[in-house]
Amino acid sequence: MNTTAQDEIYEYVGAVRQALAGLTDEMRDELLEDLPEHLAEVLAEDSGTLVDRLGTPEAYADELRSSAGLVGGFPDPPPPRFPQLVETRDNLLRLLGQADVRVGPVIGYPKASDFLILLRPAWWVLRGYLAAMAIAFLLDTNRSGTGLLPRVGDNELVALFLLAGGVIVSIVLGGRSRNFARGPRYALRAGTAFLIIFALAGFEGADSSARNIQYSDANYGTYYDNNPYSHVNDVFVYDGTGKLVSGAHLYDQDGNPIEFGDSNCVDQAQYDAAMARGGGYPWCAENAPFGSASPSAPPSPTPSS
């Protein structure tokens, strides 16, 4: 049965349900329990619409009433438990119906719901993906981070099987949900609502993580430096008497020079003096934290290789 036939059955059942609005929910569900299967058989037997074969939904609803003995002095159904809630629901449905008719022509369809019906297969696939992600989230004990695949234990093969299974089950449920009884239909809706909440929570978490990334420089993108001396601009060497050594050179165990800072001084004379004595630390002696340089400190010798 194609999508057009399914839509016709869905609309016909909905119209019959609306025509039986005077009955209790239990009575109405009992009368409509096998109606989708019956309508599918009617469409499969011969050509023509359901209205051509069975009459209007209102007339068919009257036949259902008659067959169930619900005519001729049958007492009115009891009032609903929450009349205000029922009234609010009816008003909301009426407003949604009006919006459906008004928005449809804007997007090129008689009704907006006609366009949404075309998106149902895509929604079934997305729902299956969200279901797989939710299952992986509940089963995976390693919560170090959630990727784009429903991994369990960082196993990509399991993720692919879980994703394929979720999508297939969701598509099957989507195609058969119209024939479900009241209980399974409500259970499917509750599960769908949970998946939507789960998706929104995951999206909010991913967005928050993306916005909290620390940037060292807005012009150069993200930069991470694990060097504990990356903030050092200059080096000041003091001798045993606490005097600042001028022109000190630093070397590692292999004789390689160790360089810190950038040699840019506010005082050009200080920089010229440092260059005149062969360089060495400090680059900018005026910034010494514990006193001025020793006037007699000779420059450090250059070690031989």
pLDDT score for 54: 81
- Distance in Å from the first CA to the final CA of the chain: 88
Name beta bridge partners: 155. Answer: 152
C-alpha to C-alpha distance for 100 and 31, rounded to whole angstroms: 29
Domain locations along the chain: 3-117, 121-210, 231-305
pTM score above 0.75: no
Cα 160 from Cα 78, distance rounded (Å):
52
Phi, psi of 108 (to 5 degrees): 90, 25
- Model pLDDT, residue 172: 93
Residue predicted with more confidence, 278 or 117: 117
The confidence score (pLDDT) of residue 217 equals 45
Alpha-carbon gap, residue 245 to 292, rounded angstroms: 9
Phi and psi at 257, nearest 5°, equal -65, 140
pLDDT of residue 156: 86
pLDDT in tens, 18-61: 888 777 777 887 888 778 888 888 777 766 788 888 888 888 88
134-182 pLDDT tens trace: 999 888 876 655 678 888 877 889 889 999 999 999 999 998 887 788 7
* For residue 100, pLDDT beyond 90: no
Output the six-digit token pair for 179.
Answer: 């024939």
What confidence score (pLDDT) does residue 197 get? 94
